[in-house]
Amino acid sequence: MRRLNVMLVATIVVLSAGLAAAQPLPPPGEGGRMGPPPPPPPLERVLVEHAEELGLSAEQVAEIQALAEAARVELGALHRAVGEAFREGTAAEFLAADEALHDRMLALRAAVLEVLTEAQWRALQQLLPPPPRQ
């Protein structure tokens, strides 16, 4: 009788594990086991990738690329500073580093958007989904 109970329990465990493994995973980027969705690509990359669709001139593309390249090193240093402040600093130091990073990213976005004409801005609005609600 004891052997029958052990076999019954083992069968139930194996079937339960099989059913659990058969459950579908959520699609990538929808949260759950796979984590949060990835962040959107940087605005300057979107503009360059869709330059023709947005009607950007070669000069506008070059200016956007130059702005992004000029900010790249500084943004990298600011990202590292945020990480270091989070691991080793105070809450105030972390918040200050995070604010500096955010301010620089906003400045880059503003500079990049100033390159666009009004018509290009309208085309970009049609191309991109609206920002997520927070």
Contact present, 124 and 116 (Cβ < 8 Å): yes
| Mean pLDDT for the stretch of residues 113-122 | 95
Flag whether 92 is in a domain.
yes
Residue 1 has pLDDT above 70, yes or no: no
Residue 127 in tokens:
């191309």
Flag whether 116 is in a domain.
yes
What b/e string do you get for 6-15 counting C-beta neighbours within 10 Å, with b at 16 or more?
Answer: eeeeeeeeee
Rg of the Cα atoms in the chain = 25
DSSP state of 25: P
31's CB contacts (< 8 A; 6+ apart) are: 37
Flag whether 30 is in a domain.
no
Return d(Cα 115, Cα 121) in angstroms, integer: 10
Residue 91 φ/ψ region, left for φ over 0, alpha for ψ in the -120 to 50 degree band, beta for the rest: alpha
Q: How confident is the model at residue 94 (pLDDT cuts 50, 70, 90)?
A: very high
Structural domain containing residue 91: 41-126
Flag whether 84 is in a domain.
yes
Residue 118 has pLDDT above 80, yes or no: yes
pLDDT, residue 115, reads 95
The 10 Å Cβ neighbour count of residue 107 is 13
Flag whether 16 is in a domain.
no
Return d(Cα 45, Cα 112) in angstroms, integer: 11
Flag whether 59 is in a domain.
yes
Among 12-16, 58-62, 77-81, the range scoring the smallest mean pLDDT is 12-16
| Mean pLDDT for the stretch of residues 69-87 | 94
- What tens digit of pLDDT does each residue of 26-55 get? 555 555 566 777 777 888 999 999 999 999
pLDDT, residue 28, reads 55
Flag whether 48 is in a domain.
yes
Query: How many domains is the chain partitioned into structurally?
Result: 1
Looking at per-residue confidence, does 6 or 34 come out higher? Answer: 34
Contact present, 114 and 120 (Cβ < 8 Å): no
Flag whether 21 is in a domain.
no
